[in-house]
Amino acid sequence: MGKIAPSILSADFAVLAAEVERVRAQADLLHVDVMDGHFVPNLTIGAPVVKCLRPHTDLYLDCHLMIDNPGDLLDDFAKAGADSCTVHVELGDPRPLFDRMRAHGMRVGLVHNPETPLDAVLPFLEEIDILLFMSVHPGFGGQSFIPEVLDKLRAARQIVDERGLAVELEIDGGINVATAPIAAAAGADILVSGSAIFHADDPAAAAKAIRDAAWPELVPS
């Protein structure tokens, strides 16, 4: 069963709880994009916002850390109520971060950029819950999907299935009704979508349209 993760990056931060409510009926997780202005050239939100959001929703908070120093902030995210943190493999050995996340009872995510080879994340497949594929260069919402990422996704799908692993494959960037079916066919379990959902007049309907496009076999006839 595929999942939709609306990215609050494209929501109106001034009324975040209301924005979450608008999408809640069609959201399986909420994707939280944390950017520090160093790892990526944009600055967004951090653990204090997760802490404020936590009492307003029981949705899974899927925190994507695009920051140089995730190790300094994991404790804050755990205490704020994050269900998982996803760290970039480009920063170096993620194992010490995995251990810290597990100690806090968080699920563990690992993410790689479009140009990072799949080989960089394969050694960790047995140790993670979520493998995230960036299908845009991280930093901004509203960019175009990079289709070359699909080859990596297909290869990972095959490996995960062959080994019988429980890791979920998530894809992030440029997901809309046109790209969702391609990503789902390549093996994605979780589709992150920001601008296509929150810039729509009805975010829940937009999320449902993406879900139905991705997994049409689940649409009641």
Report the interface residues with ligand DX5, using CB under 6 A.
Answer: 7, 9-10, 31, 33, 64, 136, 138-139, 141-143, 172-175, 192-196
Q: Which is nearer to Zn ion, 30 or 219 (CB)?
A: 30
What DSSP assignment string belongs to 65-77?
EESS-HHHHHHHH
Q: Is 172 a catalytic residue?
A: yes
Q: Of 58-66, 99-107, 143-151, 210-218, which segment contacts Zn ion by CB under 5 A?
A: 58-66
What does DSSP assign to residue 173? S
What DSSP assignment string belongs to 4-23?
EEEBGGGS-GGGHHHHHHHH
What DSSP assignment string belongs to 106-164?
-EEEEEE-TTS-GGGTGGGGGG-SEEEEESS-TT-SSPPP-TTHHHHHHHHHHHHHHHT
CB 51 within 8 A of CB 78: no
Considering the complex, what minimum distance in angstroms separates the CB of residue 34 from ligand DX5? 9
| Binding-residue pattern over the window 162 to 181 for Zn ion, x denoting contact by CB under 5 A | ----------x---------
CB 175 within 8 A of CB 149: no
200 binds, among ligand DX5, Zn ion, none (CB under 5 to 8 A by kind): none
Catalytic residue (one of 33, 62, 83, 129):
33
174 binds, among ligand DX5, Zn ion, none (CB under 5 to 8 A by kind): ligand DX5
Degrees to nearest 5, angle at CA 189 with 90 and 26: 115
Considering the complex, what minimum distance in angstroms separates the CB of residue 155 from ligand DX5? 22
Q: For residue 78, give the nearest of 104, 51, 52, 56 by alpha carbon.
A: 104
Catalytic residue (one of 72, 172, 201, 202):
172
203 binds, among ligand DX5, Zn ion, none (CB under 5 to 8 A by kind): none
Considering the complex, what minimum distance in angstroms separates the CB of residue 61 from Zn ion? 12
Residue 142 token pair: 């509203």
Q: Is 12 a catalytic residue?
A: no
CB 188 within 8 A of CB 148: no
Exactly one of 19, 33, 129, 170 binds Zn ion (CB under 5 A); that residue is 33
Q: Does 64 bind Zn ion (CB under 5 A)?
A: yes
Catalytic residues, by residue number, are 33, 172
